Structure formats: C-alpha cells, structure tokens
Amino acid sequence: MNTLTRLTEGLPRCLTRLTLLSGVWATALTLACSSPSESGTTQGGAGGSVATTGGSSTQSGGTMAQGGNSTPQGGANVAQGGATNVSTGGSSAGASGSASGGSSAGAAGAQAQGGATIGAGGSTSGGAGGGNTEQYPKPASLPAETGASLWLRYPLVPIQGRLTEYKAAFKQVVKAGTNASVDVAVTELTTGLSGLTGATVAAGTATDAGSVLVGTAQAEPIKSLPLATRLAALGPEGYLVETADVGGKSVTVVAGNTAVGALYGSFALLRHLQTHRPLAGLSLSAAPRIKTRVLNHWDNLDRSVERGYAGRSIWDWSALPGTLSPRYKEYARANASLGINGTVLTNVNANAQVLTASYISKVKALADVFRPYGIKVYLTARFSAPIEIGNLTTADPNDAGVKKWWTDKATEIYGQIPDFGGFLVKANSEGQPGPQQYMRTHADGANMLADAVAPHGGVVMWRAFVYSEGSPVDRIKQAYDEFKPLDGKFKDNVLVQAKNGPLDFQPREPFHPLFGAMPGTPLTLELQITKEYLGEDTHLAYLGPMFEEVLKSDTYAKGAGSTVAKVIDGSLHSHTLSAIAGVSNIGDDANWTGSHMNQANWYAYGRMAWNPDLSAEAVAEDWVRQTFSNDPIVVAPVVQTLMRSHQALVDYMTPLGLVHIMGTDHHYGPAPWVSNLSRAEWNPVYYHKADSQGLGFNRAPSPGSDAVAQYFQQVRERFASRATTPDAFLLFFHHVGWADKLASGRTLWEELVHRYSVGVDEVGVMRDSWAKVKGYVDDKRFTDVADFLQIQHYEARWWRDACLTYFASHSKQAIPAGYAMPAQTLSYYQGLTCPSDAKKPRCMPIYSGQPSPAVLK
C-alpha cells in the first residue's frame, strides 16, 4: 500500500467508493442511496459495471458532508480488471433514467436493473445497459480531435450487433408539423444517426418502417397515437421517445408538447444511441424540474471574460449583428442537448452600454440564432444605467424618471426580442452601484426593474452575493443578514440568486444558509462552472460531486428532506418560478472550456439543472461515453478519475474546511500567508486564523461569530458542535487545536499533513489511470489531458508544500514520519511570483522533481 486515499469525505451516499481488490481498483457502488428512487419502468438488462485497472490505493472511511461523521455505505464490489467485454450501459442507463436511485442501481452491475422513471424531473432510460456483451475492438487509428465537437460526437458504432440494430431501426427522419425547432431536431437526428450508423439517414416525408417521427403532440400522425395523457403530464418542455406502430409500420416517435420538447427528446434519443444502449423496450421520457436553467456569462463587451480561462468571449460584439459566428449555433446546440434554456450574455460587473440601441440589435441577432434551440437571452442590468446612458442625474429606484427610463428600456428591448428573458443584477456588491446608494433596499431596486419587465413576461434575477466595506466580524453572514429580512417583499417576477455557499465558490463550502430561509421568495442557485478557485483551466476537477452535494444538502427548512434541490425547484415553498444558474466556463478556445476535462463541468451543470436528482457519477459516465469512448477500458478509469478529482483537489488545496487561501486576485496558487490587503476579508489569514494554538474560523456561538445561527436547528446544532461537524467543514466552523484528535485518530496537524499528501498522490493515480487509455482516445486529446495532469501533479505538490511549510510556522511541528518533506522552504514559496499570466496560469519554477509519493508508506 503506498497511498492512503480517503475519497468519500462528504460525498453523498450514492457515489462510488474504491476498494483495493486483488491489486486492481474496483468500484464498490453503494446500494442504499439517501435520496428516494422514483417509481418507474425498468427496461433492458442489468446495468453494466464500471471496471478499471491500475492505480494503487486504498481508502478509509470518510465522513458525510451533511450527516455528521459516518462511514460510507457498503456496496457491491465488482472487479473487472479492465476486461473489455463487460456490459455497456451500466450506470449511464440508470443515469439517463433520471433518479439517483435509478442510476446508482443501474450502476450496481450485478445487483440491479437500469433505473427508469417516468414523470417530472425523471427520464426513462429505456433499455439500460445490459445485454451488450460485445467486445470493443481496439481502434486502428483515431483522427485527432480538437474537442470542438464537445459531447456531440457521432462516430460509427464499433460493435457489430448494436450497429446492426441501429441500422435497421433508423433509416430516415420524418417531421410532424412545421416549426423551426422541429427543423433543428431533424438536422440533429439526421446528422447523428448518419454518423452512428455509417449510412445516409436523410429527412423523408412518408412514414415508413425505420423512420424516426419527430414533432409535437398536436401534429399528425403523432396526434393520433395514444400518447396524449402521458405527454400532457410532461409540461411544455418534456418529451416522450418510444417505438410505436404508425399505419402498420414500426417507427420511433420523438414527441413533445412543444417543438422544443421534441428537440430535447431528439437529443435524449441521440444520447441513448451515443452511449450504445439497446433499443428493446425503448422508452425515454422526462420533464425538467427547474423551469429556468441558465448560463451566466461573465463576458465583457471588449471580449475579455472575468474569471474566464478559455480564451476570449465567444460573443464577437464588433462583428454583430452583421456577422454571425458559426459558434453561436454550435453553442446553442450544445446547450439544448443538455436542456439549458437561457443565457445571460454579459458580466454581472455590468457595462450599461449593452442596453444601448446598437447593442440591443446585436443581442437580437444572437436571440434569433438561439430561439429555435429553446434558449432565451437575458442581460445584466447596471443599476446606474439611467445616469450613464440615459442622461438622468439619479438611479434612485423610487424616482419617477428612473422608473420610466427602465420601463421604456424594457419596451425597447422587447420590441426587438419578444421572448427576452429579463435582467440579472449585481448591486451594492464589490463596487457595483445599487439601490442602497439612495437609502433604498435590494427589494426596492429589484421591484422597480421587475415592474419594467413584468408586462412582457420577464423576470429579474437579483444576486445575493454581497459583503460590505469595513471589517465585518464574519463576511459569510452578510448575505443572509441583508436578504432574510426582505423575504416576502419582492415582486412575483423576482428571483433572488445565491451562490452555493455563503462565501465565494470555494473548492468546498457548506450550503448557503439562505436556502430554505426565504420561503416567500423563489431562490436561484448559482453554481460556478468556471473553476476560479479550483485550478482554472488546468486542474482536472469534475464538479458533479460538488453540485450533487449542494443539491442534496438538507436545509431542514420544513423538516427532514427539505433539500436545496427542493428549495430551488420551487416545490418546497410552492413557487411558480424556479431557476438555476451556472457561471459559464466557455470561451473561444477550440475546445470551448480551456481544457477537454472542463467540458464535463458544463455538461454536468446542464444535466443536473434539468434533473437535480441525477447522480454525478451517472452523468460522468454519460459524458465519458459521448466524449471519449464507450469501451469499458476507457469508461471505467476515466469515470473513476473524474469522480475522485474534486476531492483530490480539495485535499491538496483546502482540506478539512479551509477556504480562500489562494493567491491574491488570480486565485490560482497557494498564498495562505497573505495578510496585507486593504480589506480584512480579502486576506487568507482572515479565513484560516492560524495561530500557535490551532487553525480554523470559529463560527460557533459566542465567542465564535455564531454564523451557524443562520441555519435551521438541526444543521445549526450539527455545525455548532465540534464533535458533530463533518471533517469536510471542520475548520470552516471551528478553531481546532493543533494537538486535538480528529475522527481518524490523528491530531489536527497530522491530519492536515495527511490530507495534503493524499491529495497530491491522488493526482498521481489520476495520471497513471489516464496513461492507460492511450491508443483508445485520439492522440491529440490524450496528450492534452496528459500534459495538464502532469502540471496538476506538480502544482498539487506546490500547494501542499507551500501550505504545510506555512502552517508549520504556526504549529511549530515537524512533518510526521511517513510523509515526504516539503521540497523547499516557506520563504521560497512566498517568493514565487507566478502565475505571470492569470488567464493561462503556470508556475514554471516548480515543475521539477517527483511530486509523489507524498505519503511514504
């Protein structure tokens, strides 16, 4: 045993854990999921198993993020040792099948049938994996790929049985009804089906056997099929995909109540086929749980992107509206394939210029491209716009002239873009103007804008990310303190948008206490897809587990089971509006997201926004199958690498609940020593509070900051007590003595060294694991990923050594036996001046030596 790995800290119960079996990694999947599985039909055979070879670690028990200290659930161990003839479909079948219960069951290999569900939020998987025992041939050669195709790749199905099945079933595509979105669906289906089958699958008119019939429930011949009741239950965006008899011919029907629903169904069918699932019993059905599922672009009008690491903004404002980059349509396709139905084009640190007539015509051009894909555009509204572009002397929301200005502006926008979504606003935060300048509240400001867009059906998304000037006792308390008293004061078309955690998109944070605390206001969950604090473009950190963790966190707002997911989908407090937002990681890089692996985070966001009950692992598996390969020799190790990556990063950057110890401004490398920034709460030392006694921020009741008081009782009590606070958040809520014992039996100092070391070695395992897919993934993408993993490994060691040398200066303790000594001294790390380019951060001086092993025994 050379690496002790603890992978399950804080992860929900449905996730994979890894077990050392006979020298190979095998997945052990938990069978008892904490979330209820949805009822549904089961199709297809048993889910396949995820198998892998390589790696060498074991794991010890972890702690549940929200549930106090506990060990992971047991599960079926399925070792495949890298055989290439295991069943395909496995967990992904369940994944597509919606409920986490379904997906994990599907993943449990021998145990369960692929999950399948009908109903809101769910989706039937149709045939789950099983049944396919065909061996994948090793590809003779693979053309280089830039990553530009994302997960919308349609290579010829390489296994004969499945190929024959698909060829017989998909010969042409016939549309029912006339609509731009149905036309898009036909194009997507003909492209995808032609690629997958290697035949020409064209658009046709007569419904012959082997047709895919796509359209709306109102259009013949779909209208005459007995689908009406089931379709009606699926709402405007839901879909149904199944085999049907039309005039004695067997066809595949892709039906929605709306044309966009049919488009979503088309992408669901294509995903089913891209993941090589069988057609027997095909029955896919789903409707989104959350109504508004948007990307937030922090894109500026000069094409720079705040916290963007993938090149320039894809919005080429100077060429719009005359020139439409082909990327706009590609962007719309990719989003529609996930179910994302809105995009906020501009940075929340807003520029009023986007509200001028010339920019509105540019925005209209984009809206026209996106409309057939079901995507609405939104803009950020700079609160001082009436002054900056309207020649007014005030932006006071109670001023009649200001109200009129916004009302007229809304009318102007809707005149051009009738389905404009509305405004996103960052106000009185980090220097942005807002209503508080006029002694008005956030509600006054939001309501004024809400009145302007209400006649047109628009909404206002008002951000709760605020922290004031001065030296507050505890920055994380401020959003709750400012917004909770405003509950019930917002107009019906206002959503309050809060980040997942109370601080700021840290590698790991507890859920934001506003969730559940504002029953009279629909709350939007804002996730950050771009990895500002998580290694940016370079480090592999799959965020699915983090998204899953926050969505499944129990607020206890209305007793047990009041999860964040239920708060934001509107069901807990019976709201009509519901929304989720993801801060985009997209730029004009060929691969869209700065690295191939970062595409997985865009994908996971979209899939989980559609269905917040999906398991991160099931989503990861679908993504790997669509993006790289269906061969188990690729699927297994890459899914495992993704699933362990976030925890690895947390361990080597900010273990045990540490936060915000990154370098100033760029937030890339380690800088826990920074203490000289003008505002107290910008300094890492403010957050970790290391001293000779111990480490961590005391947020328990007095003498702590009592931030825990913002949570409902059950959560409050758990976090208030050091004994019941999960290790994952220990130092977030408590100042712990260096010599205090943790659940592992190690002292805090020993545990800190251990976590940092394990994190580094995990990256080594990820590197080794990726090395094994060489030859099974095209060389270009293989090399790109391998190169980044190498950088990540060095940088993980940099993080470890820099942080441990710094914390040792407080703990006054040596590195315990069994762990590598830091490569350099504290002053060396403090003297490093990297990255020089914050957009493509690198730290050349530390790329030498052997990062692993950091755990020596």
* Residues near ligand GCW (CB under 6 A): 298, 306-307, 348-349, 426, 430, 465, 504-505, 532
Cβ atoms < 10 Å from Cβ of 855:
21
Of 331 and 465, nearer to ligand GCW (C-beta) is 465
Q: How far is the CB of 526 from ligand GCW (least distance, A)?
A: 8
User: What is each CA distance from 235 to 318, 360, 856, in whole angstroms?
Assistant: 39, 31, 57
Task: Answer yes or no: 444 catalytic.
Answer: no
Q: How far is the CB of 725 from ligand GCW (least distance, A)?
A: 25
Of 465 and 798, nearer to ligand GCW (C-beta) is 465
Q: How far is the CB of 311 from ligand GCW (least distance, A)?
A: 17
Q: How far is the CB of 532 from ligand GCW (least distance, A)?
A: 6
Which residue, among 498, 385, 370, 362, has the nearest Cα to 452 in the 3D structure? 385
Q: Which of 145, 482, 504, 681 is catalytic?
A: 504
Q: What distance, in Å, lies between the first and last C-alpha atoms of the chain? A: 7
Beta-bridge partner residues of 379: 423
Task: Answer yes or no: 9 catalytic.
Answer: no
Is residue 587 within 8 Å of residue 599, measured between CB atoms?
A: no
User: Which residue number has the CB closest to ligand GCW?
Assistant: 504
Which residue, among 566, 471, 586, has the nearest Cα to 515 in the 3D structure? 566
Task: Answer yes or no: 430 catalytic.
Answer: yes
Q: How far is the CB of 505 from ligand GCW (least distance, A)?
A: 5
Q: Which residue has the tokens 């030596």?
A: 849
Of 287 and 543, nearer to ligand GCW (C-beta) is 543
Pairing of strands 494-499, 459-463: parallel
Q: Which of 302, 430, 481, 691 is catalytic?
A: 430
Of 307 and 552, nearer to ligand GCW (C-beta) is 307
Q: How far is the CB of 528 from ligand GCW (least distance, A)?
A: 7
**Contacts (Cβ under 8 Å, ≥6 apart) of 773:** 628, 629, 633, 634, 637, 638, 782
Is residue 176 within 8 Å of residue 221, measured between CB atoms?
A: yes
Which residue, among 429, 240, 271, 439, has the nearest Cα to 348 in the 3D structure? 429
Q: Which of 532, 537, 548, 727 is catalytic?
A: 532
Of 430 and 481, nearer to ligand GCW (C-beta) is 430
Q: How far is the CB of 791 from ligand GCW (least distance, A)?
A: 22
Which residue, among 725, 728, 737, 734, has the nearest Cα to 705 in the 3D structure? 734
Of 533 and 712, nearer to ligand GCW (C-beta) is 533
Q: What is the DSSP track for 628-679? A: T---HHHHHHHHHHHHHHHHHHHHHHSGGG----BPTTT--SB-TT----SS
Q: What is the DSSP track for 55-119? A: ---EE-----SSS-S-PPPPEEEE--TT-S-SPSSHHHHHHHT-SHHHHHHHHTGGG-BPP---S
Of 505 and 729, nearer to ligand GCW (C-beta) is 505
**Contacts (Cβ under 8 Å, ≥6 apart) of 53:** 24, 25, 81, 82, 636, 637, 772
Which residue, among 124, 121, 103, has the nearest Cα to 48 in the 3D structure? 103
Q: How far is the CB of 349 from ligand GCW (least distance, A)?
A: 5
Of 396 and 504, nearer to ligand GCW (C-beta) is 504
Cβ atoms < 10 Å from Cβ of 22:
7
SS3 460: strand
Which residues carry out catalysis? 430, 504, 532
